[in-house]
Structure 1
Amino acid sequence: MQRKALSAAHGAKRVWGGAVVLLAGSALTLCGCSDSHVEGDSRGAGPTPSAATSAPVTAAEYGTSLSGATAPVDNALAELARARSGVAVQKALRHASDATGGAGRRLDGVRTPEPVRSEHAALARAMDDLHTDLLATSTALAKPASSGLCTPRAAVAQVGTEKSFAALRTAGATLTARGYKVGLVLPRMPRQQHRSLGNGTFLRDGDRSGRGVLTVVNSGGSDTTLTVARGKKVTFTVYARKHSTVKVRHIDDGTYTIYYASGEDWDQGAKKFSRNCSFQKFDRTSKFETTTTSTQIVYSTWTLTLKPGPGGNATVSDVPPGQYPSY
């Protein structure tokens, strides 16, 4: 995940007799296992029969062997396609991984008709590759901040995009077209989505009656949610689209910690980005204050700029996903 350079500028405004005069603000540094199988020409050939003692395998016998090997895979992948919660998806990934691993081993021992030995080998290779990808997806889902898979359904969708998944479908269809019943009907997996909220949408908003102003300039290539908290209490969370600016007014006086989460595809149900998510907070707090006299009112304004690359004047720290403030 690319670190964003962040900058913050602080200014103040005075009001005399109803007129607003902007005072030059000083720039502040804030800083805003898989199972393995031997592959090759011998794959799918099965035991080498003696020409004098073994008859060639029939299409019916071969079809029965194929169906027996692949049926558990269909059932396990159908379970995965239906799964939604984190627990259910991880359980389904384990079942699918076990099923594909077992199918790969069974396919290795299947006696194969001579005309479709290469097609059978392609089916077995695709089964092994999908087994490996399912294991990797399960591991990635357990580490969302580093893997890019941030919700359970994103992990399910990822399986559907794997080359191994498409290769397995193609291999099964090829054998079927050659007249051999594979019995493999892969379920339709959810598609990867690219959802977003409107710029400036509040995911959470409390009572704001102060004079403080916060401007967020999101110059980066990812949408962002910005959470402003006072102590452990979240004051508001606002959505800032990439290459957009958001201004929040009426912020009450106080010292605030500012967090931000970036990513792709906003999942409104999960209240988080489903892919390539990252979670940070500014190391330095932001103080909003208002001073009133008989002749003037001075209040705080802050501008936070998020942009790709190094060189910002605001330092940030990563926040573990489980410790990020909830909306």
Structure 2
Amino acid sequence: MSFDLVELPALSRFTVDRREPLRGDRQRIAQLWPKARVLTIDAHGRTLVADRGTRLVDRPATDFGDAPPDTAVLLGEQDGVAYWAVPRTEDETDVVAPPGRAWFRPELTDEPQWLDLRAVGALLDDTGAGLFTSAVALFHWHRSARFCSACGGRTESVKSGWARVCEQCGREEYPRTDAAVICLVHDGADRVLLARGEGWPEGRYSVLAGFVEAGESLEACVAREIEEEVGVVVGGIRYLGSQPWPFPRSLMVGFEAVADPGEPLRLADGEIAQAKWVDRVDVRRALAEPGSVPDLLLAPGASIAYRMIQSWAAAG
């Protein structure tokens, strides 16, 4: 039995106009700047949110000067309002250490707090989710692209943060995306194959994923990754949907596939700590009330994995 995603994955949502021409239109940018809104993103990919993680806390563009700072990135325009993001400066020292795995179950409050996209991506509205996702993706890329890959010269941000140009040889570079597949394997009936990665919290399970290799199709990657990670041969590979996952720059391409639960599981050493077939009824319980099924905490809501599991559970 096949299924479709019941909703868009949380980080695939966006509403702003992000077409390329605006990024180089200096006159239009100047016109929009006085009424623009600006997000601040810290070095750990967090921004300020309020109302229990449901609202981004932005600031008037005029707080940052009469024109966009050199480090600003344009996220898009909506209803005559331009949205930008800037990196949090080093002298703002009130940010605590990186939260590690705390994003799985963040403590949400009504007061403004600095939180990761993974923690609040599913809680934000469509506009907020799209803005935060784009900002995190762009700043991850800027931090890794400060030097030219051709000559080693320093690069500077251009085109409103959507490109970098080498000061030495003039080569332009653009944000990179790494393709990765993510696949929900089921038995064609009422059982799904879930796995726990090495280093994950005890009881935390999700579907299987891996990066696409050079010269490899998405479908071939699905078959290879699942066989490598859990030793299972799959068929009936079918596309479901996709979602950006900017940690640091992945595009997760979702699939379903069918396998025989009678096949022995052979776990990839150093990658998969545990894997097991789970009944649909237990998945539904775990989704409805996290912690109610022993040894079964599912993927967080911001991930496409969550949407895939949710959709499969609802299909039966």
TM-score for both structures, normalised by structure 1: 0.27
Which structure's residues are more often helix, by fraction?
1
Q: Which has the larger radius of gyration?
A: 1
Structure of higher RCO (CA pairs closer than 8 Å, 6+ residues apart):
1
